[in-house]
Amino acid sequence: MSSQSTINFYVISDSVGGTASQLGQAAMTQFPDADIKVSAYPFIRGTDTLISILEKAVSDDAIVLHTLVNEELNKTAHLFCKEHGLVCFDPLSPIISELEKRSELAPIQKPGALHLLDETYFNRIKAIEFAVKFDDGRDPKGFLEADIVLLGISRTSKTPLSMFLANQNYKVANLPLVPEAHIPEQIFQVDSKKIVGLTSDRKALNSIRRERMLTYGMNPDTEYSKLDRIDRELAYAKKLYDKLNCLVINVSNKSIEETAAIIVNTLQIEHKQYEQQ
């Protein structure tokens, strides 16, 4: 067994991610003794979500393998990885580029065009579409239809976690918490067992928010990243979580996969207890 530390491997796609996963697995089978941790991020639709994942990849010193066919997402990934010295492999672009050159036709840029559409795939797509539609509290009606409702202040991984859970066929809606904003009345109508309150450590949030501002080319020392502002937001969130009596998870030292596992396991336990009553 190798004595080397864990190698983080990020698989990113604007579809299911099957192509990238198979390529990655083909390479990893050549290193059966290596300690490799794979993190999958399928169905990426926006640049903000993509950047937040790539920021985490930087902190994990990860190898990134992506099959982003959307031109804007592909360019964003390429530029970010180049600027941050992130090892990144994009196996589709060279092939697509050569085919475009020889055929004199433009690619359709349609994610997942290769997949055979079965019932499981359609259900996953529906869950992903639900997560996109009800991301960031865009429509409060989604809270009443969701399997899971995520609450959290800024930079507590609400959107990436929503997408990860949606890939497991859970309908997820999330709401950003801001002390100055009104909490939709639908939140108080949701079964508290379906609600998850996300929190983090103040210093971790300060670091993440400062880095976020730098990514946008802005001054990192803004009201958004100040510790007293973060403390106020955390206190506001805790008060709401106590009122809702919901599951609370500190995400500061957890991966998306770890947080998702806690949520899913809790839901399954609650479901079993309900069936036994």
The rounded distance, in Å, linking the Cα atoms of 91 and 204 is 34
Cα distance between residue 254 and residue 49, in whole Å: 18
Q: Which two three-digit tokens encode residue 171?
A: 């309908």
Q: Is 154 annotated as a binding residue?
A: yes
Residue 192 assigned ligand-binding role: no
158 is in an annotated binding site: yes
Residue 152 annotated as lining a ligand binding site: yes
φ, ψ of residue 94 in degrees (nearest 5):
-60, -40
| 102 known ligand binder | no
Residue 155 marked as a ligand binder? yes
Which amino acid, one-letter code, is at 88?
A: C
Q: Binding site: which residues?
A: 152-159
Q: Binding site for ADP: which residues?
A: 152-159
